[in-house]
Amino acid sequence: MSEPEKDFKAYVVALILSRKTEVAVQILSKKYRVDVPNLAVGHVKGKKKAAGVYVTAKKLILVSNGENLWDPFIILHEFYHHIRNEGGEQLGNEKLADAFARDYINVFKEQISRKTFFSS
Ligand SMILES: [Zn+2]
């Protein structure tokens, strides 16, 4: 993975942790050339236990409570489903969505241990 790629992934995670999830999904959408998904807090019928869901028809990442909007794992997992949906594919399995999210988070952890990411 190239340095710019690593920086991008770390930056996305940092944005979500900084409660700038809207900005994070904008730059992710640009990178993957997909429409920007909608974000909302609420429950989907029949899926009350899920921390997050992706609603295909609305291009919506729906999280069960406000705190989950700042959880990189949940947001990136659901964003993976969005990419698949935008590509006209099936939503992909849960393992692949988890792996997508974990990759971003692992790169973030690696980058913050290597550089002073937030210094001015
Ligand atoms: Zn999923």
Q: How far is the CA of 5 from the centre of ligand 1 (A)?
A: 24
Can you give the pLDDT at residue 115?
Answer: 66
pTM: 0.91
- Tell me the pLDDT tens digit for each residue of 42-76: 987 777 778 999 999 999 999 999 999 999 999 99
102 Cα to the center of ligand 1, angstroms: 13
Percent of the chain with pLDDT over 90: 78
Q: How far is the CA of 83 from the centre of ligand 1 (A)?
A: 12
Contacts of residues 116-120 at CB distance under 8 Å and 24 or more positions apart, as own/partner, are 117/10, 117/14, 118/14
Amino acid at 92: G
Q: What is the pLDDT of residue 88?
A: 82
Residues 6+ apart with CB under 8 A from 41: 62, 63, 64, 65, 66, 68, 69
Domains for the chain: give ranges and CATH numbers.
Answer: 3-114 (3.30.2010)
- What pLDDT shows up at residue 44? 74
Per-residue tens of pLDDT for the chain, all 120 residues: 999 999 999 999 999 999 999 999 999 999 999 999 999 999 877 777 789 999 999 999 999 999 999 999 999 999 999 999 998 877 778 999 999 999 999 999 998 887 665 554
Contact criterion met (CB below 8 Å) for 36 and 25: yes
* Of 120, 91, 116, the residue nearest 10 (C-alpha): 116
- Ligand 1: distance of its center to the CA of 92 in Å? 8
Q: Ligand 1 centre from 62 Cα, in Å?
A: 11
Q: How far is the CA of 82 from the centre of ligand 1 (A)?
A: 10
When the pLDDT of each residue in the chain is averaged and rounded to a whole number, the result is 91
